[in-house]
Amino acid sequence: MLTREQAELAYPDEVVTRAVTRLVRVPGLAKPVALITIDNGHDHTRPSTFGPQGLVSLNAALDAAFAAEPAAIAVTGKPFVFAVGADLSGVEQVASRASALDIAVTGHEVFRRFTDSAVPTFAFVNGAVMGGGLELALACHYRTLSENTAAIAFPEVFLGLFPGWGGTQLLPNLIGPDAAVTVILENALSQNRMLKPRQAADLGMTDVLLGSADFLERSLVWAVGVINGEISVQRKEIDRGAGWDAAMERARGIVQGRTKGASPGATKALELLELARGNDLDAGYAAETEALADVLMTDPLRAGLYSFNLVQKRAKRPAGAPDKSLARPVTKVGIVGAGLMASQMALLFVRQLKVPVVLTDIDQSRVDKGVSYVHDEIDKLGAKGRLTPDGVNRLQALVSGSLDKAAFADADFVIEAVFEELGVKQKVFAEVEAHVSAECVLATNTSSLSVTAMAAGLKHPERVVGFHFFNPVAVMPLLEIVRAEKTDDATLATAFATGKTLRKSCVLVKDAPAFVVNRLLTRFMGGVVAAIDAGTPFEVADRATEPLGLPMSPLVLLQLVGAPVALHVAETMHGAYPDRFGVSENMRKFVAAGKSAVWTWDSSGNQSVDPEVAALWEFGPVELTAEQVRAQVLEGLAEEIRIMLDEGVVAEAQDIDLCLILGGGWPFWLGGITPYLDREGISERVNGKPFLAPGVASVPVA
């Protein structure tokens, strides 16, 4: 275990979490309860984490607690926060495996004191609890949980890590292996899904759920009942045979399906969950310790932390965004179009802005369908208990439809979501401009067309901005905000403020063809399709990118995006950059034939090429290997990113990484596209230099 002096040297910049013990006299107990409070000295906006010094402080607090010979030891957190895990900001400072091993050992030894204590130990989980904080709670004998806890999760696998201070051993032996697979693997690999307090209670992660107003007092009373034998805590019986086998089989499917085996953190979590079957903490903790020391020194973890910092920090302070004081209020929103994308946007606007939203379209049936979609989705939220009946009524009353764009007369923000053709969009904006004020923002959801060209014929082109959502609108966190040639700062500031209110991560991009995500996905997809056209079998080309661990293969992605959309963007990009973006004649025939997918699946899930697709495709004489296809695709991306940076499409390479993580499904553990290309030597080979400075998202020299 680290000493205080060693801990101070390990993370010199650590924001130290202090643990303080006080003795609390509780009616019904002859001895006091030793209550340890975890606090890093900041409010709830900066949750408590554990670095080496925090662990040493917690150990000292335990010394003080045991010395008092209490009736029980309880640990709780500052207001609204229990603890949210290890101090990830200091991981980059871990310079050797020996240092990593010290941190792993210290976490285990301190937390295990709660488990091995002869005195009953309680975790009073009063707020956000994740990662190492959740492991601390699991290490205690008993747990209470506040009903208003905002976040409960093991996010480690999402970052390329795994719960390494007891989580993989304690959780499956508390709630069962299948539920543990859900919490540790499935939720983490589903965009870091959080548990709600009731879900955690139903899984058995807490012994009792208590109200938040007097949570500490009620927790102490509950603890007295346990200590005096008046309350009996029942735990699940764990199936260590067939049930564990089934859970591990499901876990393997999740890891392979979501990561293709490319995330060492997910793979190691799976191994450790299997080891937990023996319920031997000595063996399990030893394995966790060794694995944690290894993973802390790997590229995927450093890459995952790079991704985490992008999403948690850079995304909240968008590069190039104007001063937010310039933003104008948005009190009414107009949406041109009432199709699925437009209806999804309407639902998002009304839920987050809570202002009137009006949809228009070319006929009443389309308008009615769009409004009905939004109303039905609001009803579903009410049925799930996410809205009160009054809330349902209020939101539905804010959504209406009209055939007349005069309904936008008092709108502050109008966005179009019509057919992806420049002439159509120009006409729409001209019609809208005739009805709205000169300050009303005119936004376009175009995925590839020139925003500057859309604004060219308007009286006030300065209030036109790109506002590109990704599908599905409610789920995808990225919003590309496009500054056209004449877009003014007030319009841009309003767009950023609106995007933030919509709870989207906004990135400023230049008005260049297809912006960021679609430009790179088109180059990516173009490389794969070109390899197939040349003569590479569909199977080989589609599996070529599997080692990256992307969420889906290129041809499955094509099916999701829609071949007509992909073809349209490819044609747009070919018109702008004919030397780098081709248009496949086979793809044109594919779309003309009305085909939506290359693959078909039988009832057993076996995949094969659609015979009709195979018949219409014309192959060349050059068959590439999977490695050659992957190299071709990645080298193309390296070239395109360098050109985009030279063109000033975004401020820095980090913004391209952020866009692909949030809008393109690029895995966290790869750390964005540019550090991956740097690590693999592709940036140097293609461009003569890396994208990022040395040491960024990479392992330090031991």
Q: One-letter amino acid identity for 25?
A: R
Question: Considering all CA atoms of the chain, what is the largest pairwise distance in Å, rounded to the nearest integer?
Answer: 87
Helix 517-534 to helix 554-561 angle, to the nearest 10 degrees? 120
**Catalytic pick from 92, 135, 274, 288?**
135
pLDDT at 296: 80
Q: CB neighbours (10 Å) of residue 675?
A: 25
Q: Kindly report, residue by residue over 271-283, the tens digit of the pLDDT.
A: 999 999 999 999 9
**Catalytic pick from 14, 92, 156, 640?**
156
Q: Kindly report, residue by residue over 130-179, the tens digit of the pLDDT.
A: 999 999 999 999 999 999 999 999 999 988 889 999 999 999 999 999 99
Domains of the chain in sequence order = 4-256+270-291 (3.90.226.10), 324-510 (3.40.50.720), 517-648 (1.10.1040.50)
In sequence order, the 6+-apart residues with CB closer than 8 A to the CB of 529 are 541, 584, 586, 587
Question: 219-224: long-range contacts at Cβ-Cβ below 8 A with a sequence spacing of 24 or more?
Answer: 219/74, 219/76, 219/122, 219/124, 219/144, 220/24, 220/26, 220/33, 220/74, 220/124, 221/26, 222/144, 223/26, 223/33, 223/72, 223/74, 223/120, 223/122, 223/142, 223/144, 224/26, 224/27, 224/28, 224/29
Annotation marks residue 135 as catalytic: yes
The two counts, helices (H) then strands (E), for the chain are 28, 19
Q: One-letter amino acid identity for 168?
A: T
- Token pair recorded at residue 618: 């014309």
pLDDT at 577: 95
Q: Which residues of the chain have pLDDT under 50?
A: 699-702
Helix 131-139 to helix 167-175 angle, to the nearest 10 degrees? 60
Provide the 3-class DSSP secondary structure of residue 594.
Answer: coil
Q: CB neighbours (10 Å) of residue 198?
A: 11
Cβ proximity of 644 and 300 under 8 Å: no
pLDDT at 11: 64
pLDDT at 13: 63
pLDDT at 471: 87
- Token pair recorded at residue 231: 């309350």
Q: Kindly report, residue by residue over 467-512, the tens digit of the pLDDT.
A: 999 988 998 999 999 999 999 999 999 999 999 999 999 999 999 9
Annotation marks residue 156 as catalytic: yes
- Token pair recorded at residue 14: 């650590």
pLDDT at 208: 97
pLDDT at 298: 77
Q: Kindly report, residue by residue over 210-238, the tens digit of the pLDDT.
A: 999 999 999 999 999 999 999 999 999 99
- Token pair recorded at residue 300: 């995927």
Q: How many CA atoms lie within 13 Å of 340's alpha carbon, on the beta-carbon side?
A: 4
Q: One-letter amino acid identity for 404?
A: D
Closest CA to 35 of 129, 130, 126: 126
pLDDT at 401: 97
The values of phi and psi at residue 153, to 5°, are -170, 160
The residue assigned the tokens 């953190």 is: 265
